[in-house]
Amino acid sequence: MIPNLSDKSAPIHPALQHFDKLPDSAGARVPVVAALFSISIPTVWRWTRDQRLPAPTKRGGVTLWNVGALRRVLAEADTGSHTRTASATAAAAVTRAAARLV
C-alpha cells in the first residue's frame, strides 16, 4: 500500500517522539540518530567516520551524539532557515519510501 502523501500527520518514529523537546546539551543514542536522518545504524557510524555527522562522546559507557550538533547538521542540510523537526523528518522519510515503491 502506498502511503497517503497528502497526510501531513505522518507517523513519527518512536525514537523521535520527544526529540524536539530535548535541550541542545542532551545526548542522543544511535537509534535516535538513525531515525532522525532516516538512515541505518551502520550508516550512522559510516557518516560519523566520514565526518558527515558530529563525533559522539561516551558517557557512562553509552555512546551519545550532542542534540544541538545534530540540529545544526539538519539545519545545514535543509533549504529553509529553520531547524528540521522530527515530524518533518518523518514526513520526508515517508516521501522517500513512497518514491521507492513507484
Judge whether 6 lies within some domain: no
> Does residue 85 contact residue 20 with C-beta atoms inside 8 Å?
yes
- 33: CB partners within 8 A, 6+ apart: 44, 53, 65, 70
Q: What is the pLDDT of residue 93?
A: 64
Q: What is the pLDDT of residue 9?
A: 60
> Does residue 63 contact residue 56 with C-beta atoms inside 8 Å?
yes
Beta bridge partners of 65: 28
Judge whether 2 lies within some domain: no
Q: What is the pLDDT of residue 60?
A: 94
Q: For residue 40, what are the domain limits?
A: 14-101
Q: What is the pLDDT of residue 78?
A: 74
Q: What is the pLDDT of residue 83?
A: 47
Domain holding 36: CATH number? 1.10.1660
Beta bridge partners of 66: 27
Q: What is the pLDDT of residue 16?
A: 83
Judge whether 1 lies within some domain: no
Judge whether 33 lies within some domain: yes
Judge whether 9 lies within some domain: no
What pTM was estimated for this model as a whole? 0.65
Burial 36-69 (b: 16+ CB within 10 A, else e): bbbbeeebbbebbeeeebbebeeeeeebbbbbee
* Residue 73: CB atoms within 10 Å: 19
Judge whether 36 lies within some domain: yes
CA distance 34 to 49: 14
Q: What is the pLDDT of residue 98?
A: 60
Judge whether 7 lies within some domain: no
Judge whether 85 lies within some domain: yes
Per residue of the chain (102 residues), give pLDDT as tens.
Answer: 455 555 556 677 777 888 888 999 999 999 999 999 999 999 999 999 999 999 999 999 999 999 999 999 998 887 554 445 565 666 666 666 666 555
Q: What is the pLDDT of residue 62?
A: 95
Give the count of domains, the chain.
Answer: 1
